[in-house]
């Protein structure tokens, strides 16, 4: 819903501006609103990357990095996306 969209927007803005307190709060809320968000984002980013759509993979990865910045799956996917630009 629109509440979910607001959380996502807040999350991205906080991440871009280095506001870790706001990022952490929005990330926690996003994960609570949709417990399957991480898996869906990871799957979507992997599928996008496999089909050659790096831009979509990067967009999904941006959200993953904002919500789970230290998650090993997210970090591994980020490495794959970064490697795909070479």
| pLDDT tens digits along 15-71 | 666 667 776 777 777 777 777 888 999 999 999 999 999 999 999 998 888 888 889
Residues 63 and 69: their CA atoms lie apart, in Å, by: 9
Torsion of CA 16, 34, 74, 45, to 10 degrees: -90
Q: Assess whether pLDDT exceeds 60 at residue 4.
A: no
pTM of the model: 0.67
The pLDDT assigned to 19 comes to 67
Give, in degrees to the nearest 5, the angle at Cα 62 between 3 and 42. 90
């Amino acid at each position: 819903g629109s509440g979910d969209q607001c959380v996502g927007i807040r999350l991205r803005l906080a991440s871009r501006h280095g506001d870790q307190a706001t990022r952490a709060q929005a990330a926690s809320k996003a994960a609570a609103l949709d417990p399957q968000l991480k898996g869906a984002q990871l799957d979507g980013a992997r599928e996008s990357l496999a089909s050659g759509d790096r831009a979509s993979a990067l967009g999904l990865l941006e959200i993953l990095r904002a919500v789970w910045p230290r998650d090993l799956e997210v970090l591994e996917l980020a490495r794959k996306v970064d490697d795909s630009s070479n």
